[in-house]
Amino acid sequence: MEMSMEKPHVAFLSSPGMGHITPLFELAKRLVLHHGFQVSFLVITTEASAAQTEFFVSSTNDFPPDLHIINIPPVDMSPILTPDMFVLTTLCLIVQESLKPLKNIILELPNRPKALVIDIFCTQAIDVCRDLDIGVYSFFTASTLLLAFSLYLPTLDREMEGEYVDLPEPIQVPGCSPIRTQDLLDMVKNRKIDEYYWYFLHVSRLCSVSGIFANTWDDFEPKSLKALRENEFYRSIQTPPVYPIGPLIKQEEVVTKQDAQILAWLDDQPLNSVLFIAFGSGGTVTSEQLIELAYGIEMSKQKFIWVVRKPSDASASASFFSSGSEENDPSIYLPKGFFERTQKQGILVSSWAAQVAILGHKSTGAFLSHCGWNSSLESMVHGLPMIAWPLYAEQRQNATMLAEEFGLALKPEVVNGKNVIGRKEIENVIRLIIESDEGVKLREMARAMMESSKKALSDGGSSFNALNTMVNMWKTHE
């Protein structure tokens, strides 16, 4: 690997999972293409999903020459991992074991990086970089509200007895919108389990970094950004500077032959008429819920593209580590005759589709999504309202914010006492977002957010300026 000694050099390190890799990689590319940097992108290869492997293999030809991929050697996790571990525990153990040679990996780079940009689950790197006198920056890949909550968590943990979910009132995050206990991040719902330990461990180190990048922009989350900058609590814990540099979303993606056929079908559909349905790279629904969703889609009679994945009754994040590799025959688990009855109405896609290309098509009118932060940003950037269908992690919190605070999404209602959204409710909400006046208003709000995001990223915009501030610091820091 050859590196220019004149160009400033920054390294990146992401935990596994496309939801974290994608935004960090977009920032890495931006530094190389627009700011004249050298970037070393360190990739944890242990237990990598097929989607991650495919991403790095298929994109290699398109990488700019100053963006170097450094694969961290895989580790045998069989003595450590057990089948009953939650996703975050598994992920954090993989990161912990993979980063043991990090110091040597950094020392072997042709020249010392000015900084290392990590995501929230790679904080082991902080101690390594302190020894090497390299500044560490966190890229927080979720909402700024979750960032504010995460910075508040050590205080909450110290001051609170019992479980947060049992609190009678919503949690009042300093200076931010309250978070209802039912919307809390999955990892903090039980303080006695490993997932809580790992999440707490990583967020408690957030104040040790030199700065925090946020994948948002000033006009999208003004309240929580203002709190992080001005609220007395965040000043008292010495919160590092927060740089809102988003929205950074996937710009290019591999368009397969199947994707090309989907886009050709979209070309023939009326403007804003198609509902895109996808639950992210790791999300799954239960067998019962999948049946209700299928009937609801069919009954709505609206055009659709549905990225359908094998259901799981065990976990909503069941495909996190198998993403892109699942064998999948929808005819086995969808209602009998569904495919035949809906052939003219829509398209079923097995497991994976070119999401950005579909969301950006003029015929796509709305997005039924799990409300992962990347997918939410992609929806906003393309001016599409959402049907909010959260599954795990912080997605319930995102859904509430998008629907109730920003007016950019509809939330289907779960009937009391049931864990399943019924087909009639699904039919109604799909019709509402695609063909009603309320749907038109939601679309107008989403289009306004699209224009706002463009302005933030353009020359002189808030996100453009925030990144420039950091770039200039790195360029002048010896």
Q: Which residues are marked as active site?
A: 20, 119
Token pair for residue 139?
A: 């890229």
Side chain identity at residue 4, one-letter code:
S
Q: Which of 321, 429, 320, 411 is nearest to 371 (CA)?
A: 411
Which parts of 105-241 are beta strand (E)? 115-119, 135-140, 211-214
On whether the CB atoms of residues 156 and 191 are closer than 8 A, the answer is no
Angle at the Cα of 186 from the Cα atoms of 165 and 326, rounded to 5 degrees: 155
Q: Which runs of consecutive H residues, i.e. helices, occur in 69-116?
A: 87-98, 102-107
Beta bridge partners of 11: 40, 116
Interatomic CA distance for residues 110 and 335, integer angstroms? 57
Interatomic CA distance for residues 159 and 2, integer angstroms? 52
Token pair for residue 422?
A: 């019924």
Token pair for residue 408?
A: 């950019």
Strand order in the sheet with 364-369: 346-350, 303-308, 274-278, 364-369, 386-388, 409-410
Interatomic CA distance for residues 333 and 327, integer angstroms? 13
Residue 296 dihedral angles phi and psi, to the nearest 5°: -65, -45
Using only the alpha carbons of the chain, give its radius of gyration. 22
Burial class (CB in 10 A: 0-12, 13-18, 19+), 350: middle
Q: Which of 149, 251, 247 is nearest to 200 (CA)?
A: 149
CB atoms under 10 Å from CB of 253, counted, come to 16
In the chain the first and final C-alpha atoms are separated, in Å, by 23
